[in-house]
Amino acid sequence: MCVRKAALSALIALASITAVATASKVSPQQADAFARKLAIISAQSTMTSRPATVRRTSVSEDEVNSWFAYRAQPMLPEGVTQPQLTIIGNGKVSGMVTVDLDAIAKQKRTSGILNPWNLIGGRVPVVVSGVLHTQNGRGQFDVEDATVSGLPVPTSLLQELVSHYSKTAEDPDGFRLADPFELPAHIRQIEVGQGQAVVIQ
């Protein structure tokens, strides 16, 4: 898995593709601070040997949301905008994105009365909360709640959204929410505290 794809997978897991984020103090300066930290984290992946000491990089909720606001859009899939993240603590995170459902809904609509894709479309907020588990360079995200336009949706529908917006030529099935994934850049673990996370390499 390439670093960019793994990073995107991690972002999807954290922000899903991601309770509505609280009002954050976003700024270009905080976006720059997060970008510098990303560069430091990424540089670790180019080292030919593991450093003798563990590197711990702390990132705040405001830094992440500033980066989303000012720098992330070129990296997001087409149809996904305005990501926001709430770092709740004890491994729990909540994220929100605005998603254009029309492209995928047109493919999924049928004549069935109970098909949820018959009822949704347009640009809507998708909110996901759950617990991020990381250890020994691997991660897994356990979804607890998901809503589309404020209405609860099953994990199966959320998975269809994530698969659609994360698929690539190399991975036509996209990111699977239930599957463990490899952390990028030699990250060993991510400690999720209240309002911040610590990346351990």
Look up the domain containing 84 and give its range: 3-200
How many domains is the chain built from? 1
Return the pLDDT at 46. Answer: 80
Return the pLDDT at 3. Answer: 47
Closest CA to 132 of 92, 96, 181, 162: 92
How confident is the chain (201 residues) per 10-residue block, as mean pLDDT? 50 43 74 96 78 89 96 91 95 95 72 66 92 97 95 91 89 92 94 96 92
Return the pLDDT at 17. Answer: 35
Return the pLDDT at 157. Answer: 87
How distant is the alpha carbon of residue 12 from its chain centre?
Answer: 2
Closest CA to 60 of 200, 199, 201: 199
Return the pLDDT at 23. Answer: 45
Is residue 123 within 8 Å of residue 164, measured between CB atoms?
no
Is residue 104 within 8 Å of residue 120, measured between CB atoms?
no
